[in-house]
Amino acid sequence: RYRGEMKIPMETCPVSIRTRCSTRSTGFTLIEVMIASVIMVVVLTAFYQLLTFFSRDYESQLAIAETHQQSHVALSLFRNEVQNTGLSTTTATFLGPQTNGRVPVACQRGQRNAEPIMEVSETVFHFMVDVDSSGTFNKNNDNNEDVRYEWVGKSGRALCDKQNNTRGPNTLYRDTGGGLQEVASGITNFKLRYFDEGDVLIPENALMDKRNQIQKIVLTIKSSSGQNLNRKDSEWNTEIYLKNIG
């Protein structure tokens, strides 16, 4: 028995069915083309949506990684600088010809006598350090010796900005005399807590009066990045001991 497909040559087609035989061998019908087109459109649409999803997910993960990296950098920079507060190899105070021993403080009018810790709050830490071991503080020549950190929250307003300038919200800034410079953004919460030699928390309303009794600082940073389902919140805590105070 022959089970294969039987082929009928055109010359063997009867005249009555020859037209149908030749029609089937010329190509697709209109209905077949329309069905194929619809299937192609559905497949391309699904592929585009999948590609868009992966692209957005990649951008979101990239933003999360960048925010985490910025937060780690901010934490390390703050800790490494602040732990040297008051460091001086030759003198206990910071005196220099450019300030005459007085330093401007953002939240007060005029200047104050130079001290290791100039200004403190839950979002601000202003300190001094003799990084070049010169024994003096010269604002023009000694870089990074008068350092002020400040976190600006959701409002975008610095704590004591007399000019009421708008800053980037949820951002940590650093100022060494030339104005606030951005350190890290995406920080939704930044809180400093201060402890004395007995590891007792110093109340916020007594910080300025007891600032030279601070022995330990506990910093809490919270960062947020991404949106909706891809939103990622993280929190870091670190303890900083001021070994040159007291």
**pLDDT by residue for the chain (246 residues), tens digit each?**
444 454 545 455 555 544 555 545 556 788 888 898 999 999 999 999 888 888 777 777 777 777 778 888 888 889 988 988 877 655 555 555 445 566 777 776 667 777 888 899 999 999 888 766 666 665 555 567 888 999 998 888 787 776 667 788 889 999 887 788 899 888 889 999 999 999 999 999 999 899 989 999 999 998 877 666 566 788 889 999 998 776
Give pLDDT, residue 233: 80
Give pLDDT, residue 122: 93
Residues 6+ apart with CB under 8 A from 172: 74, 78, 149, 150, 151, 152, 182, 183, 184, 185, 187, 190
* Rounded Cα distance, 213 and 215, in Å: 6
Give pLDDT, residue 123: 93
Q: Give the residue from 69, 171, 97, 84 showing the smallest Cα distance to 132.
A: 84
DSSP type of residue 83: T
Give pLDDT, residue 2: 45
Give pLDDT, residue 8: 46
Residues 6+ apart with CB under 8 A from 67: 185, 186, 223, 224, 225, 232
Whole-model pTM: value is 0.69
Give pLDDT, residue 137: 61
* Rounded Cα distance, 131 and 198, in Å: 28
